């Protein structure tokens, strides 16, 4: 609880290692930075008091101090890294492309290891509670550790005085004594410092020359960037900020765009896949090497509509056309803040089928009449020439035999099959039954006079689109930018300080930098050049 | 000394506020993540949103809205004929329908856009008399967040959702739920 008054008169906060003003090591606190007598001083945070290490009274303080520790922060980052690495061993749930639910998939494919993997939540790593807590803890640690260091360091650098304690100077890594230096030499040194673009402060003949102090704030700027980035990722949980949906649209179909609250609709006019021309001499070789064809373009020609009424869901909305254009891979169509991307497709889904009726015994299969069935919404009856009536008894869009019964496994016409009842004028009450599907044409009774054969069909393509809206991108961008500024600030500049201390007849010179010791020594070489002051020594090198 | 205690107090307040803000953010993230899949889904207790769909087997009415049944309990069933469990429960629904219609409970079955032919055939083969509507654009299916079929909502006379059942229902279960949404008289 006691403030420490240094012999220079400066009052330091508790826990100070080196006096903020003169740098004298404060007795009884040297263990905090691991300083040993007569060894070089640990200049971390300029020996300022990190409060976290001193106040530890309440529960809040204990939590605070836990997160303030750099050691804890490093551990959190290491654990997150290890967990992320483990998360790549088996595929993530979102990408495993399996119809099996996760609780079966991992055990079936990877045995006991897979089961553990699933139970610990590695299958959906970013969504598992402990992973989220780890990342959140890193965020909290960033904020607290930065605050706890920024404030005292700021104080220490603000309050430093040019006049330093001799112990402080002697125990700097760069140190030199020039007992014979004259006033002229001192002036020359100051001139040299200024020439090297140092800011020079003087106090009673003591000199502090400093440059690049702002590099010290680099890590904190960097942390601010990270925190903004984390806030951005947090905002992705807000639906108004972030939407990621997908949809299928068939050619000719108009559908509401999911995630837009029934506001926007899209019509798929046309979907196509283009390939590179095999006969073009420019591509021939590459295509041959690749084998098969090489796709040049996937494109949906789309029309966007906006709903203009408040119609109830389910009823036909009133739509106003707002936009028309192509959606290509990486070239989305945009509306409001939504972007629709081309993601996937299905070619050649059946759309209509045209059947012809002929006499069964006719080997030439001369058509009596034809009829076309819309596979999405077939009519129940088709009236043909000669008074013949075809009734659709059953329609199976995606036909499959299940337990001996014909069924459909979906509503999509992927494998259409029909049971037709053919009513002839001669036999108006007793229809002929025939079953027609892809590659199948059955006459269950064996007594049919007429036969229905597939004459032609039309297909259409289905486009798969992804709808995204991401208002967090500017925030993520800003966070990233500030992060990079912080990195540059901290990495490409160094905080260099040189102290000149009058001693007896001459001067002592000491220097400190947070990095690039070679740089500060080169500065000093230029500064002492042409004076009687000998070059300083690097006490770290002397030791070895 | 007063100054010092003051400072200490300030520090404690500052630290508590900072920690609270950060914990709130973390709690928000965790909560959002775990309710992500449920957020848009209609919850039991919420009001069943109204819709308007084309009917297939209701004479004299081209469209039906949910609020048409105001004051009655409604069993809202989403089905398709390619879904075997849907086919299984349809006869049970038909079996209970006449009795519960008298008691003020309606059954409304929403078909997922299969074309009228398929639906009409199905109605014919199973002799269904309760109203069946078609969700051609899939909007109501999205509104009610129907993923897998069958999905059934039991809506009370006040219009609030009382139960949501995904998967096939047995005769007993349907009857039990119908009892619950029966208006008191």
Model confidence at A162: pLDDT above 50: yes
pLDDT digits (tens, 9 = 90+) for B10-56: 888 888 999 999 899 888 888 887 776 655 567 777 888 888 888 88
Query: What is the pLDDT at residue A239?
Result: 75
Is there a contact between B19 and A58 if contact means CB atoms under 8 Å apart? no
pLDDT digits (tens, 9 = 90+) for B125-176: 888 888 888 887 778 888 887 777 788 888 888 888 888 888 788 888 888 8
Query: Where residue A13 falls among pLDDT bands split at 50, 70, 90?
Result: confident
| Greater pLDDT, A481 or B155 | A481
| Residues in B 45-74 with any Cβ partner in A closer than 8 A | 49-53, 63, 65
Measure B46 CA to nearest chain A CA, in Å: 17
Measure B184 CA to nearest chain A CA, in Å: 29
pLDDT digits (tens, 9 = 90+) for A28-59: 888 888 888 888 888 888 888 876 555 667 88
B37 has a chain A CB within 8 A of its CB:
no
> Residue A39 phi/psi, 5° resolution?
-100, 170
Other Cβ atoms less than 10 A from the Cβ of A212: the count is 20
Pairing of strands B132-134, B52-55: antiparallel
Region A130-140 average pLDDT: 91
Region B75-83 average pLDDT: 84
Size of interface A-B (CB pairs under 8 A): 116
Q: Which residues of A touch B84 (CB under 8 A)?
A: 407
CA dist A81 and A24 (Å) reads 41
Region A395-400 average pLDDT: 86
Is there a contact between A262 and B139 if contact means CB atoms under 8 Å apart? yes
Query: What is the pLDDT at residue A297?
Result: 92
Other Cβ atoms less than 10 A from the Cβ of A53: the count is 15
| Residues in B 118-177 with any Cβ partner in A closer than 8 A | 118, 120-121, 133, 135, 137-140, 142-143
> Residue A492 phi/psi, 5° resolution?
-95, -5
Measure A376 CA to nearest chain B CA, in Å: 6
Q: Which residues of B touch A255 (CB under 8 A)?
A: 137-138
Q: Which residues of B touch A377 (CB under 8 A)?
A: 115-117
Region A463-474 average pLDDT: 92
The per-residue pLDDT of chain B, averaged, comes to 81
Query: Where residue A523 falls among pLDDT bands split at 50, 70, 90?
Result: very high
In sequence order, what are the beta bridge partners of A344?
A464
Q: Which two tokens stand for residue A197?
A: 């673009």
Query: What is the pLDDT at residue B37?
Result: 60
Query: Where residue A1 falls among pLDDT bands split at 50, 70, 90?
Result: very low
CA dist A121 and A49 (Å) reads 41
Measure A129 CA to nearest chain B CA, in Å: 7
Alpha helices, H only, chain B:
2-35, 84-102, 116-126, 139-143, 171-180
The per-residue pLDDT of chain A, averaged, comes to 87
Model confidence at A520: pLDDT above 80: yes
Query: Where residue A80 falls among pLDDT bands split at 50, 70, 90?
Result: very high
Measure B51 CA to nearest chain A CA, in Å: 5
Query: Where residue A332 falls among pLDDT bands split at 50, 70, 90?
Result: very high
Q: Which of A302, A300, A314, A310 is nearest to A265 (CA)?
A: A302
pLDDT digits (tens, 9 = 90+) for A312-321: 787 778 889 9
> Which chain B residue has its CA at the smallest distance from A380's CA?
B117
Is there a contact between B142 and A258 if contact means CB atoms under 8 Å apart? yes
Burial of A109 (0-12, 13-18, 19+ CB in 10 A): middle
- CATH number among 3.40.1010.20, 3.30.70.590, 3.40.30.10, 3.60.15.10, domain B46-181: 3.40.30.10
| Greater pLDDT, A196 or B125 | A196
How many percent of chain A have pLDDT more than 70?
97
Of the partner residues A60, A231, A237, the one whose CB lies closest to the CB of residue B12: A60
Burial of B128 (0-12, 13-18, 19+ CB in 10 A): buried
Is there a contact between A239 and B34 if contact means CB atoms under 8 Å apart? no
Helix (H, G, I), strand (E, B) or coil at A75: helix
CA dist B46 and B40 (Å) reads 12
Model confidence at A504: pLDDT above 90: no
Pairing of strands B105-111, B73-79: parallel
CA dist B47 and B159 (Å) reads 6
Is there a contact between B53 and A314 if contact means CB atoms under 8 Å apart? yes
Model confidence at A543: pLDDT above 60: no
pLDDT digits (tens, 9 = 90+) for A433-457: 888 888 778 887 777 788 888 888 8
| Greater pLDDT, B79 or A330 | A330
């Amino acid at each position: 609880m006691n403030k420490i008054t240094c012999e220079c008169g400066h009052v330091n906060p508790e826990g100070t290692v080196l006096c903020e003003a003169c740098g004298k090591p404060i007795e009884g606190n040297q263990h905090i930075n691991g300083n040993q007598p007569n060894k070089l001083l640990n200049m971390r945070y300029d020996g300022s008091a990190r409060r976290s290490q001193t106040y530890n009274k309440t529960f809040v303080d204990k939590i605070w101090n836990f997160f303030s520790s750099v050691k804890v922060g490093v551990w959190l980052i290491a654990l997150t890294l290890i967990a992320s690495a483990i998360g790549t061993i088996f595929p993530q749930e979102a990408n495993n492309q399996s119809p099996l639910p996760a609780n079966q998939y991992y055990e079936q494919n990877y045995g006991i290891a897979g089961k553990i993997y699933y139970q610990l939540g590695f299958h959906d790593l970013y969504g598992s509670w402990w992973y989220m807590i780890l990342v959140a803890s890193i965020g909290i640690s960033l904020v607290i550790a930065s605050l706890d260091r920024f404030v005292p360091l700021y104080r220490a650098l603000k309050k430093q005085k040019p006049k330093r304690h001799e112990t402080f100077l002697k125990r700097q890594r760069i140190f030199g004594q020039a007992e014979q230096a004259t006033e002229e030499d001192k002036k020359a040194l100051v001139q040299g410092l200024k020439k090297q673009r140092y800011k020079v402060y003087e106090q009673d003949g003591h000199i502090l020359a400093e440059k690049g102090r702002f590099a010290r704030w680099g890590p904190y700027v960097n942390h601010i960037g990270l925190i903004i980035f984390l806030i951005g990722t947090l905002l992705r949980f807000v639906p108004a900020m972030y939407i990621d949906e997908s949809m299928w649209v068939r050619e000719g179909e108009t559908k509401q765009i999911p995630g837009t609250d029934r506001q926007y609709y899209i019509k798929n006019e046309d979907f196509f896949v283009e390939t590179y021309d095999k006969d073009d001499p420019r591509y021939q070789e590459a295509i041959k090497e690749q084998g098969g064809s090489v796709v040049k373009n996937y494109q949906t020609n789309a029309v966007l509509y906006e709903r203009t009424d408040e119609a109830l869901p389910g009823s036909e909305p009133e739509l106003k056309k707002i936009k028309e254009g192509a959606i290509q891979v990486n070239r989305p169509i945009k509306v409001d803040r939504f972007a629709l991307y081309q993601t996937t497709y299905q070619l050649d889904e059946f759309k209509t089928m045209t059947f012809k009726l002929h006499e069964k015994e006719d080997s030439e299969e001369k058509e009596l009449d034809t009829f076309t069935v819309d596979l999405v919404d077939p009519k129940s009856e088709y009236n043909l020439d000669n008074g013949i009536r075809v009734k659709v008894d059953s329609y199976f869009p995606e036909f499959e035999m299940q337990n001996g019964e014909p069924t459909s496994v979906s509503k999509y016409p992927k494998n259409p099959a029909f049971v037709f009842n053919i009513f002839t004028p001669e036999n108006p009450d007793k229809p002929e039954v025939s079953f027609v599907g892809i590659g199948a044409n059955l006459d269950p009774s064996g007594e049919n006079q007429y036969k229905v054969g597939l004459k032609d069909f039309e297909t259409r393509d289905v486009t798969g689109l992804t709808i995204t809206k991401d208002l967090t991108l500017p925030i993520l961008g800003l966070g990233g930018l500030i992060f990079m500024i912080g990195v540059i600030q901290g990495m490409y500049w160094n905080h260099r300080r040189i102290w000149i201390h009058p001693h007896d007849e001459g001067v002592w010179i000491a220097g400190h930098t947070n990095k690039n010791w070679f740089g500060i020594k080169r500065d000093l070489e230029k500064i002492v050049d042409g004076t009687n002051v000998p070059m300083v020594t690097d006490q770290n090198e002397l030791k070895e | 000394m007063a100054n010092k205690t003051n400072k200490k107090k300030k520090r404690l307040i500052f630290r508590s506020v900072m920690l609270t803000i950060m914990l709130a953010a973390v709690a928000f993230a965790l909560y959002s993540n775990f309710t992500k899949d449920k957020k848009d889904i209609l919850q039991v207790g919420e009001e069943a949103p109204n819709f308007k769909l084309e009917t297939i087997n209701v004479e004299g009415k081209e469209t039906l809205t949910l609020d048409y049944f105001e004051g009655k309990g409604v069993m809202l069933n989403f089905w398709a004929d390619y879904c075997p469990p849907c086919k299984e429960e349809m006869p049970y629904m038909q079996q209970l329908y006449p009795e519960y219609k008298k008691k003020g409970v309606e059954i409304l079955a929403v078909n997922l856009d299969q074309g009228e032919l398929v639906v009409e055939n199905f109605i014919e083969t199973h002799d269904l008399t309760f109203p069946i509507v078609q969700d051609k654009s899939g909007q109501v299916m999205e509104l009610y967040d129907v993923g897998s079929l069958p999905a059934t909502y039991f809506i009370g006379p006040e219009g609030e959702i009382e139960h949501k059942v995904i998967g096939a229902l047995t005769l007993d279960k349907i009857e039990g739920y119908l009892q619950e949404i029966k208006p008191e008289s």
